[in-house]
Amino acid sequence: MKKLVLIANLLLAFAGFSFAQTTPAKAKTTKPAAAATTTAPGPKKADGTADMRYKANKDAAKSAPATTHLKKDGTPDKRFKENKKPS
């Protein structure tokens, strides 16, 4: 009888563990707000980003200055040449 109770308890425990392993579904991510606030000389799409079908926006993208490499806290990353001071 003890073996039967032990087996029943183990089955219930394993059934409980199987329910604990499920993960909730992830929510969809939206575009970052920084992309929506960019200034473009030409027309924009509905989400606020530049519409690259127009020449004015293509020219602005080509002539945009190269971005510097930044760390997560916003300070320049000294591993890259453009952020190092000449010595």
pLDDT tens digits for range 31-60: 555 444 456 688 999 998 899 999 988 888
pLDDT at 35: 46
Q: What is the pLDDT of residue 36?
A: 45
CA–CA distances in Å: residue 24 to residues 15, 21, 29, 30? 18, 10, 15, 19
pLDDT for the residue 77: 87
Q: Tell me the CA distances in angstroms from 53 to 19, 59, 71, one per residue in order.
A: 50, 11, 33
pTM attached to this predicted model:
0.33
More confident of the two residues 27 and 55: 55
